[in-house]
A and B are shown apart, each in its own frame.
Chain A
Amino acid sequence: MAINIGETAEELRPATAGPEGGQVQGPRAGWRLAISSFVENRLAVVGTAIIAFFVLFCFAGPVFYHTNQTSTNVINAFVSPSGSYPLGTDANGFDELGRIMKGGQAALEIGFFSSLIATVIGTLVGAVAGLLGGIVDSALMRFVDILLSLPLLFVILIVGDRYNGATVLNLSLIIGAFSWLVSARLVRGEVLSLRVRDFVQASRTMGATRTHLIYKHLIPNALGVVIVNITFQVADAINLLAILGFLGFGLNYPSVSWGDMLSKALAYLADGYWWVVYPVGICLVAVVMAFNFIGDAMRDTVDVRLRRR
Chain B
Amino acid sequence: MTAYLIRRIGISIVVIVGIALLTFVATHVIAPTPGRAVLGDKATIAAVDAFNRAHGYDRAVWAQFGSYLWQLVHGNLGYSYKLNQSVDSLIIENAPHSMWLSGSSLVLSILIAIPLGIFQAVKRNSVADQSITAVAFTAYSMPQNFLGILLIGFLAISFHVFPAEASQNEGILPYMLALRANFLPIMTLTITAVAGYSRYMRSSALDALAQDYIRLARAKGLAERTVLRRHLFRNASLSLVTLIGLSIPALLGGNLVVEYLFNSHGLGLLFINELGNEDFSTVIALTLLAGIATVVGNLVADVALTVADPRIRIN
Contact = CB atoms under 8 A, between A and B. Distances in A.
Interface in B140-160: 140-146, 149-150, 152-153, 157
A278 B142 CA distance: 12
A154 B138 CA distance: 25
B22 A151 contact: no
A266 B99 CA distance: 25
18 contacts: A143-B18, A145-B15, A146-B15, A146-B18, A146-B19, A149-B292, A151-B291, A154-B286, A158-B287, A239-B143, A243-B257, A246-B145, A262-B145, A266-B164, A274-B153, A277-B153, A278-B153, A292-B141
B295 interface: yes
A247 B145 CA distance: 9
Contacts of B290: 150-151, 154
Interface string B254-273: 00110011000000000110
Given A146-B15, A149-B15, A158-B26, A285 B138 contact: yes
Interface string A133-173: 00000000011011111110111011001100000000000
B261 A266 contact: yes
A281 B15 CA distance: 38
Given A154-B286, A242-B146, A289-B141, 15 more contacts: A142-B18, A145-B15, A145-B18, A146-B15, A157-B271, A158-B275, A158-B283, A247-B257, A247-B260, A265-B145, A269-B149, A270-B157, A274-B153, A277-B153, A285-B142
A142 B26 CA distance: 19
- Categorize the interface residue count of chain A: 35 or more
Contacts, number: 111
A151 B290 CA distance: 7
A274 B158 CA distance: 11
Interface of B: 11, 14-15, 18-19, 22, 26, 30, 137-138, 140-146, 149-150, 152-153, 157, 164, 249, 253, 256-257, 260-261, 271-272, 275, 283-284, 286-287, 290-292, 294-295, 298
A266 B271 contact: no
A246 B143 CA distance: 10
B107 to A, nearest CB: 22
A149 B141 contact: no
A222 interface: no
A19 to B, nearest CB: 30
Contacts of A239: 141, 143
A266 B152 contact: yes
A235 interface: yes
B140 A151 contact: no
Q: Which 10 A-B pairs have the closest CB atoms?
A: A146-B18, A242-B143, A289-B141, A288-B141, A149-B294, A281-B146, A246-B145, A149-B291, A151-B290, A150-B291
Mostly, the A contact residues are helix
A276 to B, nearest CB: 11
A147 B25 CA distance: 13
A284 interface: yes
Interface string A243-279: 1001100000000000100100110011000100110
Contacts of B26: 158
Contact of A246 (B18, B257, B298): B257
Contacts of B11: 142, 145
